[in-house]
Structure formats: C-alpha cells, structure tokens
Chain A
Amino acid sequence: MVFLHATSLADAVAALSAHPGAVPIAGGTDVMVEVNFDRRRPAALLDLTRVPELSRWWVEDGRVRLGAGIPYARVIAELGDRLPGLAMAARTVGSPQIRNRGTVGGNLGAASPAGDSHPPLLAAGAEVELVSNRGRRRVPVCEFYTGVKRNVLAPDELIEAVWVDSVAGPQQFSKIGTRNAMVISVAAFALALHPERQQVGTGIGSAAPTPRRAREAEELLAGELDAAGLWESRGPLPATLAEEFGSRVCAAAAPIDDVRGSAAYRVHSLRVMARRTLTWAWNDYRKAA
C-alpha cells in the first residue's frame, strides 16, 4: 500500500490520476472501518485532510459552495442559517468525535443509502462538483447515486464540493434510529419548501437501494398548494393534504427488511416523518410571514 499526502487540490488530482486505485480519505469514519477490519486493502490511500480548497465554503450567486472536506461539526457551527436541512442532518450524525472528522464529501463518496447528508441534499436540489485531470463537472445530486454504495465517480475523479441554494424557505429533517447518538438511520426524510419558485423538494434515506426523491409527492404537494393559493395566503395546511403527501412519499420508497428494521416499519415511519416534517415546515412558513 502507498500513502499519498496531498497539500493542494492540484496535488490530489495529479495523485489520483497517477494512482487510479487510490482511495481518498478525509475523516476516515467509513474508510478506516473497512481498513481496520481488513474488508478493504486499497493499493493507495490519498489523504485529503491537508487540501485547503476542500475545507473552505463560500457563497456565489446565491449558492453555497461547500468544500467536500468540511466536517459535520463545521456545517453545524457555520452553516445552520444558510443550509438548515443539512445542518439538522449533520447534528444527528454519529457522535461529537465522528462529527469532528466525518465530511459531507465522504458521505457522498461512500454513497450509503443510509448516509445522513443525502436526504437534505436531495431536498435542496444540490449539485456535486467533481474534478479530475480531465476537468470539472457538476452532477445533480439526484443523479449522483447509481446503486447501493455506488455513485457516478470515475476512478480518477474527486468530489471537490457541493453546491446548494442558500435557503429561501423552510427545511426539515427527520431520522428514525434506536437512540439519539451513534445511529445508522432506519429511515430518514428531508423536506424543503421552495416558495420562491413554488416547488417542494424531498429526500428519502435508508428506504431504497439509493437515497432518492419522492417526485410524485413533491408534485402533488406543490400543485395542491398552488391550486388552493396557499403559497400566497399561507393559510393552514389541510390535514388531508399532509396525509396524501405521506402516502406518496411511501409509494416512492423501495425498502428491504434488514437488521435495522423491516420494510413495513420503514414505510410506516416514512409516512409519519413526511407528515410531521411537512407540518413543521408549513408552520415555519406561516410564522415567517
């Protein structure tokens, strides 16, 4: 095995190009578990923790550019106002030690269906920026996941950043687990209301082979809010609409039975989380008037 130190993004891209089998490592909260248990013996580890470009965020044209190497603790401390959904999810990750090290980029790289970052990124309509010697490209996060723990990354590509709209409407996140800390989600759901364009964003976690949106639920809700003039009036949310939204969210899921929970429980919990997050977000929207 080779250990590669990168101290700039150009370094990291060149190193990955020279060692296409190298596994990038930032917080190590996924990669080192696999290495410690001998489940993975990569030809090379590429350390990204000293790459300054990956540990910065800034706002450009109303979007937050979040460096892939920013740990959850910084998302919580620095971006709770601009990226509330992602910050809520970040607060539920692991433990303080894990949040100090684990990164959003690492969550995307691992592409576990249970990753906590994915639902809020899906709901917010984020884009993932990839870089290699061949150039850069941006992939909508809903097209980023290709299967269980699989994504569109080519062997020579690095996740450089995530681009997320700075918040324009309420966002919520909910996660089911056996306790409050150190939980791999049994099921998770994120919701974003986009009143400026009268749209709704959703993200489902741990209830399909990949994180995914509930598109029909988004369309139903946005359409009904529009038809009833509720985006403008900010009137009370009809209970039947919240129920129907929950049903559509369930219909978008494709869960399995596993050690963390049954498929039936996951569907049930998604229905509850969808209804609750919508109620919370709508109440926030009404209060913000």
Chain B
Amino acid sequence: MRVTTTVNGETRHADDVSESESLLYLLRERLGLPGSKNACEQGECGSCTVYLDGVPACSCLVAAGQAEGSDVVTVEGLAPGRDLDPVQEAFVECGAVQCGFCTPGFVVSAHDLLARCPNPGDDEIREALAGNLCRCTGYEKILDAVRCAAGRMPSERSTV
C-alpha cells in the first residue's frame, strides 16, 4: 500500500508498504530517517520515540498504515538542517551519550517534557523519561542534560 505522511514538515510518500510493518520501519527503511532506533519492538525501551500528531509515541507500536495523513516529527526534525535543538546541545555538553542508542528517544521525550513544562523538577523529569531505557545506565548524565536544557527551550513549541 501507499502511505503518505508529513515527516519533519515535508510531505512524504512511501510505496509498497507492508500492512504489518511499523511506522518505525517506514521511517528508517523507506524514508531514510535512521535516527529513531529499533531496539525492543514492544514499547518497553522508548528508543523509537517520535512525535505523532504532536504527542510522543513509540513508533514501533504504530502500524505504518495508521500513520496515513499524520504529522510525524523525528529526532532529525527537532532543529533545522545541521543545527541542534537545545535538548540535543545539552546532551552533547553534559556527556549524556554513551553508546548513543537510546539517545534519540530520550531527546524526543525530553523535548516534549520541556515544551510542556519548561522548568521541571526531578520527579517530573523521571516521570517523563520513565518510558526510555538506557542500557549503559547513564541516567545521571541524562538527568543533568535535561536540567541543563530547561530554560533554554523556546517558549513556543515552534518546531512541532
């Protein structure tokens, strides 16, 4: 089947999409956006987190056909071109990246948190990131990065 979505602001078509494939597969393998990572395929780890119509979702649990007509923003689309979003900058500055596999999911979840709640407490950060797993267990640096990014975010959710 053909699936048409708006991804990172652009209308994208994909042909020969399988009825059983996920939005994650569509993004990575058909639209050339490998930022969202394929890890658990069961919604446990959050590595595939994207914005779907404005809210974070595990793209591995969305059937590609369900994304027809949707607005998707991936980690690649948080900032224009080669620029970094403040959350991405903070992850770099704080060393919140070890193997890097979980990073895109954490960045999207943290981006959503700060768009809703620009100055979160630690409990709010932990709750917002509860669906993202870091196998390197580098959580302290990730929390540092989110605290660092807080306050640097534009007040409007202009990129989404």
Contacts and interface: CB of A to CB of B under 8 A. Distances in A.
Please indicate which of the listed interface residues A2, A5, A96 has the most CB atoms of chain B within 10 Å of its own CB. A96
B43 A29 contact: yes
A1 to B, nearest CB: 4
B127 A28 contact: no
Contacts of B22: 32, 36
B130 A5 contact: no
Contacts, number: 89
Interface residues of A, number: 29
A101 B65 CA distance: 15
Nearest to A27: B61
A98 B1 contact: no
A222 to B, nearest CB: 36
B131 A98 contact: yes
B130 A96 contact: yes
Nearest to B1: A3
Contact of A97 (B49, B63, B127): B49
Interface string A1-42: 111010000000000000000000101110011011100010
B61 A33 contact: yes
Nearest to B70: A49
Interface string B2-38: 0000000000000000111010000000000000000
A63 B46 CA distance: 36
Contacts of B93: none
Contacts of A98: 43, 58, 61, 131
Interface string B50-68: 0000011110111101101
Interface in A63-117: 73, 94-98, 100-101
B61 A101 contact: yes
Contact of B63 (A25, A37, A94): A25
A180 interface: yes
B151 to A, nearest CB: 21
Contact of A96 (B61, B65, B128): B128
B58 A97 contact: yes
A33 B65 CA distance: 16
A182 interface: yes
A181 B61 contact: no
B66 A33 contact: no
B142 to A, nearest CB: 15
B41 to A, nearest CB: 4
Given A36-B22, A101-B62, A96 B43 contact: no
Main secondary structure, interface of A, reads: mixed
A28 B44 CA distance: 13
A37 B43 CA distance: 12
A265 B60 CA distance: 34
B19 A45 contact: yes
Given A36-B41, A96-B56, A97-B43, A49 B66 contact: yes
B131 A47 contact: no
B103 to A, nearest CB: 16
Contact of A73 (B19, B55, B61, B132): B55
B88 interface: no
B65 A5 contact: yes
Given A3-B63, A32-B22, A33-B61, 11 more contacts: A27-B61, A28-B62, A32-B60, A32-B61, A37-B41, A73-B55, A94-B43, A95-B46, A97-B49, A100-B57, A181-B131
26 contacts: A1-B20, A3-B1, A3-B19, A3-B65, A5-B68, A29-B43, A32-B60, A33-B41, A33-B61, A36-B41, A36-B42, A37-B41, A37-B42, A44-B19, A45-B63, A47-B63, A49-B66, A94-B131, A96-B128, A97-B56, A97-B58, A98-B61, A100-B55, A180-B130, A182-B44, A182-B130
Interface of B: 1, 18-20, 22, 41-44, 46, 49, 55-58, 60-63, 65-66, 68, 109, 112, 127-128, 130-132
